[in-house]
Structure 1
């Protein structure tokens, strides 16, 4: 016999759809924005020389001013990785990109599965497994991206976010760099996925409770006969 879900249970499942939409939006924003790293640039022999640098996984911008006017130029991150292998770790950069992309894809699958689960009154265990798997995969993928960028920052970017040509002109960013908001989008995405998993655990507990048979008190045969006669 097929078991049906209560309205309350289906509403909770549908709530995970909106959470997944938030995660997809956060991860998409992290991929297309240019603020995974932000830094100030200085020249040791010039108090008037100032600059800013920021870039994401694919592009960014640097603005340097030696006191005679600022100069801005775009940063092509993949091209810089090819031309200057010591600038960043290619594998950590790739892990960050792959983790963010897989997290986005997994959360999109989770959103579709939540709509399918909440739209059907039947308790489909396969869809619930897909919901747990997609949200779990999203959390693991985002954690991979998070850890890879942490390693990238402390291994390479904390002391340098400038190209070789700028460093030759004595520009530096030592202890002047920090994580940008694009990076924190991933952290927020992880927290939202955890919220989703908690909701799904609650839904699973509610489904188990709904499946428990209701215990009926035994009815005395004489009383039952009297009721029927009446």
Structure 2
């Protein structure tokens, strides 16, 4: 493998590290959903809600000042299944986690492949598989949370106690930055796979050139002998 080809493979290391960073950020930040809130019986009341896969916050103001309340997403899934679907949440969490794992494996494989001049295809296969795994997993996460938003969160992000107190969030919710971390991760996977395809193409050409070289030397030697 030439230095140029190894350089292209090594470039996927930075992409894989970025994938890990984006997916870990998506898992740990509390902005998968952001929403406003209002009360039906008050024009002065305001609310802001945001949460991630595990925790979040709601800030409600009933015209007497803002009050902050923490949100335990797992408790919401357990106690109020009408707010969110557990299975869509699980698909989102697993997809994001596997996306991070695929990125980590891809980062290690890219270092091993780019640091070796060996033409063995095993490490390259691992690179492709890990990136495909990461891409498919993040796509699963993307689809699950998009369905979660359309089917549930777009219509309501509030608990029953808030709704009973005349709060509503219908059509006030939007997808948050944590969700778009996954979208960015998918884009990086596509870039990584494109670079790997280019590297494989270059490596194939290098092999063909090596196979052709001995034939040319033999031909020249025969001409000189003649």
TM value normalised by structure 1 = 0.93
Which position in structure 2 is the counterpart of 1:22?
18
Partner of 1:214: 212
Matched, 1:73 2:69: yes
Matched, 1:163 2:159: yes
Deviation, 1:112, is: 0.4
Q: Give how far 1:83 is off.
A: 1.0
Structure 2 residue corresponding to 1:112, chosen from 108, 116, 136: 108
Select the structure of larger CA radius of gyration. Answer: 1
* Deviation at residue 194 of structure 1 after TM alignment: 0.4
2:224 corresponding residue in structure 1: 224
Cα deviations across residues 85-131 of structure 1 (Å, max 9, x unaligned)?
Answer: 21100000000000000000011001000011011111120101100
- In the other structure, the counterpart of 2:186 is 190
Gaps of 5+ in 2: none
Runs of 4+ in 1 over 4 A off after TM superposition: none
Counterpart among 70, 83, 87 of residue 87 in structure 1: 83
Q: Contact 1:117/1:124 (CA < 8 Å) preserved in 2?
A: no
In structure 1, the residue corresponding to 2:212 is in which secondary structure? coil
The residue aligned with 2:8 is: 12
Cα RMSD of the aligned pairs, angstroms, is 1.4
Gaps of 5+ in 1: none
Q: TM-score, normalised by structure 2?
A: 0.95
